[in-house]
Chain A
Amino acid sequence: MSKIVESLPNIPEVLPLDPAPQADPAVRVKPLITARNVNVFYGQKQALQNISLEVPANQVTALIGPSGCGKTTFLRCINRMNDLIDICRVEGSIEIGGQDIYHKDVDVVTLRAQVGMVFQKPNPFPKSIFENVAYGPRIHGLAASKAELQDIVEASLEKAGLLAEVHDRMNAPGTSLSGGQQQRLCIARTIAVEPKIILMDEPCSALDPIATARIEELIDELRENYTIIIVTHSMQQAARVSQRTAFFHMGELVEEGATEQIFTAPRDERTQSYITGRIG
């Protein structure tokens, strides 16, 4: 399932855009997201230290690490959801498509419309399935007519692999679906706004293995059109769905590289310890 990307051994701070003799074209494209020296503070406490990371487009990047290591914090920096926390302060820069998203002229609403997010626990609105998906296009004025809205909703549900299951009960409440279906509904809701990037915060942690497998399959399909960053607790999941993996520990980015390399030949001792189950 996951694409194998060759690693560059022996070079510290491997950057995917290094003009190294790489065969895979996916790696050589300009990175879509570039984080430089990101520091995050909650009040006095520093949650992230000097994170620099580049995320290539149309790949799945997994953020792994023990709980409390800052991976979710970093994820929430990318669509500025951390703005909602009063005591949270972000330093450094994160560029998406060459634009600094922490620049003062940046409009977070416009930003979030393009950087969608799927949360840990499925959180459908207490509305019908249709209304859940239609909500985003409505507020952003994406549909000119009812028919168009209907098309967007159906296409999004289709992409999320849910349409076949719900097409005959679009007016049932979103909360009446099973956990896995709810999470796919949330993904459909995110896709409906046509984002470029989808952030996923442990999207399967509340789901059973079968539903998890379904979501993982979906993530792989979505990679074609979207850049995905997924936070996960499960190393198996990271190995299954991602092309690149970044390992966070105690607020630091320890190591980052092709998934294959991280899991087979980690360069850092801590990564080694984590993937073999000694820490975390």
Chain B
Amino acid sequence: MEKTKTINFMAKSSRHRRVEQGVIAVLIACSTLAIFTTIGIIASLIFEAIQFFKFIPITDFLFGLNWSPQTAIREDQIGSGGSFGVLPLITGTFLISAVAMALATPLGLFSAIYLAEYAGPKVRAYIKPLLEILAGIPTVVYGFFAALVIAPFIRMTGSEIGLEVASESALAAGIAMGVMITPLISSLSDDVINSVPQALRDASLGLGATHAETVAKVVLPAALPGIAGSLLLATSRAIGETMIVVMAAGLAAQLTLNPLQAVTTITVQIVTLLTGDQEFDSAKTLSAFALGLMLFLVTLCLNAIAHQIVRHYREQYD
């Protein structure tokens, strides 16, 4: 071969190119896993839920007032079919989430306001990670603490002031859950408050408003969409939370809005229905998937709305 210096702009060997294409194909495959996971979730939930609705009409499920999924042990037993009215579960989930939000909203918001508006950089550097520890603690720990400490405490306090408190009250589970979601609200709201332009604060302070007036009347209204987004995300978290309620809330479905009574939630029922023996041809086992589908759809909607709001808000000030 004689050595000539040539300039060649032609592509490298086809083997080389095939390797590159192969690598990219693998990368694409990995990135689509997220889509397949979503499809898998939806498909499996819908498939099993359809099986369930063959046993129980969907209207009975959605509008029934009674939930007691025990299938008969003997054929002649009364109520052998079990009742699958989801409303008591929805009210129970709502009740506990409402207690949690009632606690977490002021705690999270005021923490965020303090961190974003008042705390110096040093205080902030210590307090923020400390608050985030609350979000890193496994929920099973909150559940244990709620059942062991909070619930008996509420019961004792209740009986001292003459109130009837169930030992697995919605209040106890709600309080633990509220503390768990507080850092979620505080860190998201903190970001949102920080992104309110300084010019608005200057305008208000320049008019002689106090800092608190500026925060309450200018900064918070401006940050409201973002804060609403963070509250929605926190609500979705509360609705989908499982371990706290499994350990600290009740099992029996009750249609009540009294936080001192024991209620059960969608997630508690899913766990109860699917631990122990499962028969994938019984309404009892399949009902868990109908509940799961419902849970998935509700949290999906809440998240989608929340993300939309937050994104819209970010664009406004970026």
* Best-buried of B200, B202, B210, B213 by chain A (most CB within 10 Å): B202
Q: Are A135 and B205 in contact (CB under 8 A)?
A: no
What residues of chain B lie closer than 8 Å to A189, measured between beta carbons? 203, 207
Q: Are B199 and A123 in contact (CB under 8 A)?
A: yes
A125 beta carbon closer than 8 Å to chain B = yes
What residues of chain A lie closer than 8 Å to B210, measured between beta carbons? 109, 139
Q: Render B185-223 as a binary contact track against A, CB cut-off 8 A, 1 for contact.
A: 000000000000101111111111110010001100110
Residue of A whose beta carbon sits closest to that of B208:
A113
| CB of B92 to closest CB in A, whole Å | 39
| CB of B240 to closest CB in A, whole Å | 33
Chain B binder among A60-68, A79-87, A236-244, A253-261: A79-87
Q: Given contacts A125-B218, A125-B222, A127-B221, is CB(A136)–CB(B207) below 8 Å?
A: yes
A186 to B203, CA, bound (A): 8
B120 beta carbon closer than 8 Å to chain A = yes
Q: Are B217 and A135 in contact (CB under 8 A)?
A: yes
What residues of chain A lie closer than 8 Å to B209, measured between beta carbons? 109, 135-136, 139
Q: Given contacts A109-B208, A112-B208, A136-B208, is CB(A125)–CB(B120) below 8 Å?
A: no
Q: Are A119 and B207 in contact (CB under 8 A)?
A: no
Q: Render B219-231 as a binary contact track against A, CB cut-off 8 A, 1 for contact.
A: 0011000000000
Q: Size of chain B's interface in residues, with CB distance under 8 A?
A: 19
A-B interface contact total, Cβ < 8 Å: 67
Q: Are A119 and B205 in contact (CB under 8 A)?
A: no
**Restricting to B114-165, which residues have a CB under 8 Å from any CB of A?**
120
A98 beta carbon closer than 8 Å to chain B = no
**Restricting to B212-270, which residues have a CB under 8 Å from any CB of A?**
213, 217-218, 221-222
A111 beta carbon closer than 8 Å to chain B = yes
A88 to B213, CA, bound (A): 23
Q: Are A119 and B199 in contact (CB under 8 A)?
A: yes
**Contact partner, A79, options B201, B206, B213, B221, Cβ 8 Å:** B206
**Restricting to A94-124, which residues have a CB under 8 Å from any CB of B?**
109-114, 116-117, 119, 121, 123-124
**Contact partner, B207, options A110, A127, A190, Cβ 8 Å:** A190
Residue of B whose beta carbon sits closest to that of A112:
B208
Q: Are B202 and A119 in contact (CB under 8 A)?
A: yes
Residue of B whose beta carbon sits closest to that of A107:
B208
Residue of A whose beta carbon sits closest to that of B223:
A126
Q: Given contacts A125-B222, A126-B222, is CB(A81)–CB(B203) below 8 Å?
A: no
A251 to B120, CA, bound (A): 28
A193 beta carbon closer than 8 Å to chain B = yes
A186 to B202, CA, bound (A): 12
A230 to B201, CA, bound (A): 21
**Chain B interface (Cβ < 8 Å from any Cβ of A):** 120, 197, 199-210, 213, 217-218, 221-222
**Chain A interface (Cβ < 8 Å from any Cβ of B):** 79, 81, 84, 86, 109-114, 116-117, 119, 121, 123-127, 135-136, 139-140, 186, 189-190, 193
Sample of 15 further A-B pairs with CB below 8 A, known A84-B201, A109-B210, A112-B207: A86-B120, A109-B208, A111-B208, A112-B205, A112-B206, A113-B208, A116-B207, A123-B197, A125-B222, A126-B200, A126-B221, A136-B208, A136-B209, A139-B207, A190-B206
22 examples of A-B residue contacts, CB within 8 angstroms = A79-B206, A81-B205, A84-B202, A111-B208, A112-B208, A113-B207, A113-B208, A114-B208, A117-B202, A119-B202, A123-B197, A123-B199, A123-B202, A123-B203, A124-B203, A125-B203, A125-B222, A135-B217, A136-B209, A139-B207, A189-B203, A190-B206
